[in-house]
A and B are shown apart, each in its own frame.
Chain A
């Protein structure tokens, strides 16, 4: 068994930064804020991740990707731990990440302090294609747990909005 000594915590985080979200392959799990921490022990590398939603089906794939990638890099003994606290929030995404989402066709989440959860229709969401703010929510629930379904009244295209969480 290879011990984890040749790698520092930063090295491991750097390696893991390459793993993309299986459902939104333009952003990494680090950019999404799902990669929380790495704890190095003598013969064990523990990676702490947090789910976007409790039932996020991508978690199993992400866990598998983490173990696989670290083994390829010679870290044999890997443990992936799921932590729920602090609860994941879309506020952890920076502007660069939000820009990537937009270019991928997903309207980025607005800051959680700007939403009134009791009245989701009060939120103004811009169309990721034409930037129009003349948009309508079709459903709070879309193709994945983290997205709502919108349509643009100007370019007439439907699009996903990454729900504020």
Chain B
């Protein structure tokens, strides 16, 4: 594997996480529990899709075959996507989305704090920008964890259940392979494993303040680094990519 190939896949991962998470959040549009939340969730979606655009554009540039960010978003198959499985899981109910948001935003907070110091200027630049937005996402998820966790017995139960169901998807966030190892040599990539203690502390303290029990580590799902996904990604892509599949190269 050349450095260029590694960097291409590494950048795709960053772009795919944002694209798939952004699309899931956009599914809340017009379905939020209250108007303010509808706006909040779609604002978060917009940040993610903007980030996806920036990273995929860079990935296309690294690949050097004249593709655009749209080509990468709309014309790759399921097995060519590298987003973490947690991002593609369906939105579920509001508590489930909030639990997902907390786990992902807390991870992204540490991820982009570190990546903003990457030796790759483009990755560092986009990451510094993303970090500012992620802070708002984290505070949003944190506030709702408090409210749902300490709210009614029903909201508490739903939030607790959501964290239990999602926990097995958190191991993958910190997974690394030969791509990470290669790119860590010159400071392009970051050591994801080293972020886990801080992430666990932060999530643990927010959950404790929300009277939610931190789930125990058990079996962890894996696969996305190799392009192996849950059954949900194919369905999601069939919607995202419908237009370009039905009318190739359509523009408007």
Contacts and interface: CB of A to CB of B under 8 A. Distances in A.
Interface stretch (B39-47, B178-186, B224-232): B39-47
B34 to A, nearest CB: 9
A41 B51 CA distance: 30
Interface string A126-165: 0000000000001111110100010000000000000101
Interface centre among A51, A88, A138, A141 (most CB of B within 10 A): A141
B117 interface: no
B47 A53 contact: yes
Task: Give the size category of B's interface with A.
Answer: 20 to 34
B136 interface: yes
Contact of B128 (A56, A57, A87): A87
Nearest to A85: B125
A54 B40 contact: no
Task: Give the size category of A's interface with B.
Answer: 20 to 34
A84 interface: yes
Interface string A31-68: 00000000000000000000101111100000000000
Given A54-B126, A54-B130, A85-B125, 8 more contacts: A54-B129, A54-B133, A55-B49, A84-B54, A84-B128, A85-B121, A140-B136, A149-B39
Interface of B: 36-37, 39-40, 43-44, 46-51, 53-54, 121-122, 124-126, 128-130, 132-133, 135-136, 139-140
